[in-house]
Amino acid sequence: MGAFQAIETGIVHLGYFSWIGAFSPGPLGSAISDEFKNALKDPNKINENLHLFEIVVGDNDLITGPTDTAFESQLHELKIQHVYTVMPGTHSMFVWRPALSNFLQEIFKH
């Protein structure tokens, strides 16, 4: 749940966070707070405050892949700016390590 907690914490507390990197986040319906649901109702505020919102998932991630795809569709429908990257791999460090490396390179460009 660490990756989804990063998303929820970042979006609920936009004044503290400007970059969100989530690797195989797997948002679970029952674990989503009302604060997060309410924050999603203001996509303009999210877009104005985040420099980068990136979600990375493995193409064979059977653990979180389906829920990540559904969540990405929701973000797209809400017009929340984000980068959604599908990498070869499963729900493993072989996806997360390069994703973290790429994410860190992006945030330190700013």
pLDDT digits (tens, 9 = 90+) for 87-102: 999 999 999 999 999 9
Segments in the chain forming alpha helices (H): 2-12, 34-39, 43-49, 65-77, 93-107
Q: Please, which residues have CB within 8 angstroms of residue 63's CB and are 6 or more apart in sequence?
A: 24, 26, 90, 91
For the segment 51-107, what is each residue's pLDDT rounded down to a tens digit?
Answer: 999 999 999 999 998 899 999 999 999 999 999 999 999 999 999 999 999 999 999
| pLDDT at residue 59, rounded to an integer | 96
Token readout for 110 is: 């700013």
- CATH topology assigned to domain 2-24+38-107: Rossmann fold (3.40.50)
| pLDDT at residue 44, rounded to an integer | 97
Q: What is the mean pLDDT of residues 6-28?
A: 92
| pLDDT at residue 110, rounded to an integer | 67
